[in-house]
Amino acid sequence: AQSVTQLDSQVPVFEEAPVELRCNYSSSVSVYLFWYVQYPNQGLQLLLKYLSGSTLVKGINGFEAEFNKSQTSFHLRKPSVHISDTAEYFCAVTLYNFNKFYFGSGTKLNVKP
């Protein structure tokens, strides 16, 4: 069975500081990996995805993530956060042959001035 673990439920950080949101997954088969962001009272918006190729993936709003197969991780990073990055972030995986997504429990990023 597949599962996604987001190790931190909340991450407080000051504006312009770097941030890393951690995501680990478990799967016995190859998966595709995604990060989504959810702002209050909105749906989820795709930040970035890893399908194959380069393990460093760049997404929107200056975010990037690195796929590490040996550690089964897909951590999200941003070198300098803004107040507007305050939101909840979800890591998700899907199997190659299915369209069913497994989501982590989410990490609330709180950027302080």
* Distance between CA atoms of residues 19 and 107, nearest Å: 12
For 15, the 3-state DSSP assignment is coil
102 binds other proteins (CB under 8 A): yes
- Give the separation between CA 78 and CA 81, rounded to whole angstroms: 6
45 binds other proteins (CB under 8 A): yes
List the one residue from 1, 54, 70, 98 that touches other proteins (CB under 8 A): 98
Look up residue 42 and give its DSSP letter. S
Instruction: Supply the minimum distance, in Å, between the C-beta of residue 51 and other proteins.
Output: 5
In degrees, rounded to 5, the angle at the alpha carbon of residue 62 between the alpha carbons of residues 57 and 67 is 20
Least CB distance from residue 113 to other proteins, whole Å?
Answer: 26
Please say whether the beta carbons of 26 and 14 come within 8 A.
no
DSSP state letter for 84: G
User: Please, which residue, 3 or 80, has the CB nearer to other proteins?
Assistant: 3
Out of 17, 46, 56, 83, point to the residue binding other proteins (CB under 8 A).
46
Q: Is 101 in the site for other proteins (CB under 8 A)?
A: yes
- The residue from 25, 34, 63, 67 that contacts other proteins (CB under 8 A) is 34
